[in-house]
C-alpha cells in the first residue's frame, strides 16, 4: 500500500559551502527506481527528514532537466538544519515529495519574466534559472533578475553569476556595505531591493515572481503596482511551516488555502484579500 508519509532514502554525493551559514547538498536516491521516478517542477518543495531531528520543507535548487542527482541549499537556523550541516559525503537522509505547484512555466515560456529575490528567497529561483539554461529553446522570452542580500558575505550561488549575467539581465544589491565587484563582472548596488527596482528599467510586458521575507514582498508588490503590474501577473513563493505536505495537518493554512498543496507558488490575485498572507 502506498504511504505518502514514507520517505525515500538518499545519499549525499557532494557538499558545497555557499556561505558560513549556507550549504548546498548534492544527493542521489539510493534505489535506482527512485532515481528513475523522481520529477519536479521548479518552485515545488520536498520534505526532508533526518532520524531523531524531525523533517522540514525545502525547495530543490537544481535543474529539473537533470534529476539523476538533485541539490538542496540549506541555511543553518534550527535543530534539523544544524544536524544537516554536520553531515558528511556518504551520509544519508530521507525525502518525500515533491509537493504543491511550482513556478508558472507555461506563462514564463510566453512572457518576459521579472524575478525578484531577497535573501535565501533566491534558493527556489536557482532551480528555475538552471532549468531555463538547460532548456533555453523552450524559454525564448527575456528574463530579468533582481537579487538583494543583507551583505556581501550573504550572497549565495556566486559561482553561477558569470553564466547568469550572460543569459539574463542580472542585478544585485546589498542592504549594507560598499559597492564591490562580484563574479560576472558586476558591481553590487547598495540599498533595499525596492531602490534597485526604481533604478533599473524594469523589463516590459512581463510577469513578476517574488520570493523573500514577507516585509520585502509587501513593499515589492507596492512598487510593482506603481509600475502597473496586474494582480494576476504577480506571483509569490510563500514559506510556511509544512508538516504533512499533503494538506491534511493544516499547519500551513493561509485563509482557505494550504501552502503545501495549493502553493507554494500563488498569484497575488489569489492572495490579495487574505489577511496575513504576506
Query: What's the pLDDT tens digit per position in 44-90?
Result: 999 999 999 989 999 999 999 999 999 999 999 999 999 999 999 99
Query: What does the mean pLDDT of the chain come to?
Result: 92
Check whether 260 has a pLDDT greater than 90: no
The per-residue pLDDT for range 207-244, each reduced to its tens digit, is 999 999 999 999 999 999 999 999 999 999 988 777 77
Task: Please tell me the least confidently modeled range out of 2-11, 157-166, 210-219.
Answer: 2-11
User: How many Å apart are CA 255 and CA 124, to the nearest integer?
Assistant: 23
User: How many Å apart are CA 160 and CA 156, to the nearest integer?
Assistant: 9
What is the percent of the chain with per-residue pLDDT over 90, rounded to a whole number?
A: 78
pLDDT band at residue 193 using 50, 70 and 90 as cut-offs: very high
- Same domain membership, residue 52 and residue 89: yes
Contact 192, 173 (CB under 8 A): yes
Task: Please tell me the least confidently modeled range out of 68-77, 81-90, 98-107, 170-179.
Answer: 170-179
pLDDT band at residue 29 using 50, 70 and 90 as cut-offs: very high
Cβ atoms within 10 A of the Cβ of 80, count?
20
Q: Is residue 42 a part of any domain in this protein?
A: yes
Per-residue pLDDT at 126: 98
Per-residue pLDDT at 28: 97
- Same domain membership, residue 119 and residue 221: yes
- Same domain membership, residue 114 and residue 62: no
Residue at which a domain ends, from 84, 99, 114: 99
Cβ atoms within 10 A of the Cβ of 104, count?
19
- Same domain membership, residue 225 and residue 147: yes
User: How many Å apart are CA 252 and CA 132, to the nearest integer?
Assistant: 29
Task: Please tell me the least confidently modeled range out of 140-154, 184-198, 257-271.
Answer: 257-271
Per-residue pLDDT at 21: 95
Per-residue pLDDT at 121: 95
Residue 196, SS3 per DSSP: helix
pLDDT band at residue 1 using 50, 70 and 90 as cut-offs: low
Which of the 8 DSSP states describes residue 202?
Answer: P
- Same domain membership, residue 91 and residue 31: yes
What is the percent of the chain with per-residue pLDDT over 70, rounded to a whole number?
A: 99
Residue at which a domain ends, from 99, 114, 129: 99
Q: H-helix or E-strand containing 113?
A: strand 112-118
Check whether 152 has a pLDDT greater than 70: yes
Residue 212, SS3 per DSSP: coil
Q: What is the pTM of this model?
A: 0.94
- Same domain membership, residue 169 and residue 137: yes
User: How many Å apart are CA 212 and CA 227, to the nearest integer?
Assistant: 20
Q: What is the CATH number of the domain that holds 120?
A: 3.40.50.80
Per-residue pLDDT at 275: 83
Q: Is residue 266 a part of any domain in this protein?
A: no
Residue at which a domain ends, from 49, 79, 99: 99
Per-residue pLDDT at 212: 94
Number of domains in the chain: 2
- Same domain membership, residue 221 and residue 174: yes
Nearest to 9 by CA among 23, 28, 36, 26: 28
Task: Please tell me the least confidently modeled range out of 21-30, 124-133, 179-188, 238-247.
Answer: 238-247
Give the residue numbers spanning the domain of 227: 105-237
User: How many Å apart are CA 161 and CA 75, to the nearest integer?
Assistant: 20
Check whether 178 has a pLDDT greater than 80: no
Check whether 266 has a pLDDT greater than 70: yes
Per-residue pLDDT at 137: 96
Q: Which three cell numbers stand for residue 254?
A: 493561509
Q: Is residue 274 a part of any domain in this protein?
A: no
Contact 183, 208 (CB under 8 A): no
Contact 132, 226 (CB under 8 A): no
Nearest to 80 by CA among 60, 56, 61: 56
Q: What is the CATH number of the domain that holds 19?
A: 2.40.30.10
Q: Is 73 exposed, middle or buried (0-12, 13-18, 19+ CB in 10 A)?
A: buried
Amino acid at each position: 500500500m502506498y504511504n505518502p508519509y514514507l520517505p525515500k532514502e538518499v545519499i549525499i554525493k557532494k557538499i558545497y559551502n555557499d556561505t558560513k551559514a549556507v550549504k548546498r547538498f548534492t544527493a542521489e536516491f539510493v534505489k535506482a527506481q527512485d532515481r528513475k521516478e523522481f520529477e519536479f517542477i521548479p518552485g515545488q518543495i520536498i520534505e526532508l527528514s533526518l532520524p531523531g531531528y524531525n523533517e522540514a520543507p525545502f525547495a530543490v535548487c537544481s535543474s529539473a532537466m537533470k534529476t539523476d542527482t538533485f541539490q538542496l541549499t540549506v541555511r543553518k537556523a534550527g535543530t534539523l538544519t544544524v544536524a544537516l550541516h554536520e553531515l558528511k559525503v556518504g551520509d544519508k537522509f530521507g525525502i518525500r515529495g515533491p509537493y504543491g505547484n511550482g513556478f508558472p512555466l507555461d506563462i514564463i515560456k510566453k512572457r518576459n519574466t521579472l524575478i525578484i529575490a531577497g535573501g535565501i528567497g533566491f534558493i527556489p529561483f536557482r532551480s528555475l534559472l538552471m532549468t531555463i539554461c538547460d532548456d533555453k529553446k523552450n524559454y525564448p522570452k527575456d528574463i530579468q533578475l533582481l537579487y538583494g542580500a543583507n551583505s556581501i558575505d550573504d550572497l549565495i550561488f556566486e559561482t553561477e553569476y558569470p553564466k547568469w549575467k550572460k543569459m539574463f539581465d542580472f542585478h544585485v544589491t546589498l542592504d549594507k556595505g560598499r559597492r564591490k565587484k562580484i563574479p560576472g563582472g558586476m558591481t553590487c548596488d547598495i540599498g533595499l531591493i525596492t531602490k534597485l527596482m526604481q533604478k533599473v528599467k524594469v523589463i516590459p510586458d512581463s510577469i513578476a515572481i517574488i520570493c523573500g521575507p514577507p516585509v520585502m514582498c509587501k513593499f515589492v508588490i507596492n512598487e510593482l503596482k506603481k509600475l502597473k503590474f496586474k494582480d494576476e501577473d504577480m506571483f509569490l513563493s510563500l514559506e510556511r511551516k509544512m508538516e504533512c505536505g499533503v494538506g491534511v495537518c493544516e499547519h500551513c493554512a493561509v485563509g482557505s488555502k494550504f501552502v503545501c498543496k495549493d502553493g507554494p507558488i500563488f498569484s497575488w490575485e489569489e492572495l490579495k484579500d487574505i489577511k496575513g498572507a504576506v
